[in-house]
Every structure is written in structure tokens, then in C-alpha cells.
Amino acid sequence: MNDFRKSGRNVSRHLGGASDHFMRMKSFAIVAALALSAAISGCSTIGSQLFTNNYGSVNDAGYQLPRIPIERVPLKYHRQEVNYDTSEKPGTIVVDTQNKFLYFVEGDGRAIRYGIGVGREGFEWHGTAHIALKREWPTWTPPRQMIQRQPELAKFASGMEPGLKNPLGARAMYLFNKGGDMGYRLHGSPEWNSIGKAMSSGCIRLMNQDIIDLYDRTSVGAKVIVM
């Protein structure tokens, strides 16, 4: 009988230990889930703030922008505030064409980072420019050289009206240098799945919800560096 009681106590201690271990693992899982949730909602503790919840449907100037299925866009291309060490002054835009990122410099070692699409092979470029014009829901006019390459675009030679299918999207900012209009734009795009890719004719494209955000932050005259 004594052996039985001792055995029972040993079993109880064993079960108690297993229960404690289970509770510790459960608590760890809950904490991990909360940490992931916080990171996604913009409360990351590693120096970056995500804006993943800012890609819903938007009514803008009478146009109903559809929700972007942001869960299908790699996390690194979601709009986020990040640590960014630069000597450029706040308000400067830095385009990293290799990594497909655009940085809006905030100062104090911080920047807003956006995922972008860039020029395809043969249409890459690098240099410094400035924002000369800003337009909401712009008209798109394909350049003459583009019409020569794609004759089907001739119907838009006088301009394509603004709208959800317009290649410039909800906003456009026009890049000039000392020689005048470079022909390149920072603009929105209805093709959210082109972000992170090299598909354009040299313009820098963002998701529509992102270009609206960047547009509101950017002043005419802002410096743009394309690397």
C-alpha cells in the first residue's frame, strides 16, 4: 500500500510537471501570436512600423479604389516606417531600384519605405531630379517612342482620361532636371502585382494607396535620387 501511495505521488508530480510544461508552452504561443499581431498592426519592437492595414478600398475624388489583396504582396513591400541613416534632408525621396524600395526621408534616422516597380531591362536609369509638378488623377499620354513600339496605344495619343484603368493611377509626380521634363514619373498603378518587379518604361510605380500617401507627404521641388 505504501508503495502504491508513493507511486501515486510520483505520478501526480509527473502529471503536474507535464501540466506546467503545457501551460508554459501555451503561454509562449500566446505571446508569440500577440507579438506577430503587433508587428502586423504597426507596433513592431524592432524599429519598423508596418501599415499593412492601410490598403482597403478608398473613395477618392469620386473614384472607388478597390482593396489591394495585400496578403499576396511580400511583406517587405508593404508601406512601413523604418530606420534609415542618410545625410539627405527631410522630404527627400531616395529610390533604390535594385531592392525595389522608395524611401521618403523623415529625419532623425527614420524614413517611410514603400515597395515599387521599376524600369525593365533597357529602361533603367539613375540620377538626381526634383518634383516639378503634382497631379491627382492625371491624364496619361504615351510618349511617341512608346506608340512606335506599341501601335495599339495610338488611340491615346491625345491622352487617356483619368480613371481606375489609367496606367498613372491615382496620383503622379513629374520628374524634371536641369534639362527639363525627363519623361519619368512617380505614379500609382492599378497593377499591384507589379510591385517588386522591373516592368515599366522607366517610371517608378507604387500601389495606388501608397502613391496617395507619398503624394500627401511630398512638396513640389523635393529632391529625388534614383540609385
pLDDT tens per residue, range 96-139: 999 999 999 999 999 999 999 998 877 889 999 999 999 999 99
Q: Tell me what percent of the residues of the chain surpass a pLDDT of 70.
A: 79
Co-location of 90 and 167 in the same domain = yes
Co-location of 65 and 20 in the same domain = no
**Residue 135: how many other CB atoms lie within 10 Å:** 15
In this predicted structure, what is the pLDDT of residue 25? 42
In this predicted structure, what is the pLDDT of residue 134? 99
Domain span at residue 4 reads 1-40
161, pLDDT greater than 60: yes
Query: pTM of the prediction?
Result: 0.77
DSSP tag of 13: H
Co-location of 145 and 98 in the same domain = yes
Positive or negative torsion for Cα 120, 123, 128, 129:
negative
Mean pLDDT of 3-32: 42
Mean pLDDT of 4-29: 43
C-alpha cell at 43: 507596433
193, pLDDT greater than 60: yes
Q: With bands split at pLDDT 50, 70 and 90, how would you rate the model's confidence at 180?
A: very high
In this predicted structure, what is the pLDDT of residue 47? 66
Return the CATH number at 145. Answer: 2.40.440.10
23, pLDDT greater than 60: no
Task: Identify whether the C-beta of residue 81 lies closer than 8 Å to the C-beta of residue 101.
Answer: no
Co-location of 34 and 106 in the same domain = no
User: Cα separation of 170 and 91, whole Å?
Assistant: 21
Mean pLDDT of 147-161: 87
User: Cα separation of 99 and 10, whole Å?
Assistant: 59
Co-location of 98 and 202 in the same domain = yes
Q: 174 Cβ partners below 8 Å, 6+ apart?
A: 131, 132, 133, 134, 135, 181, 185
Locus of grid cell 509638378 = 133
User: Cα separation of 210 and 212, whole Å?
Assistant: 5
Q: Which amino acid is at 32?
A: A
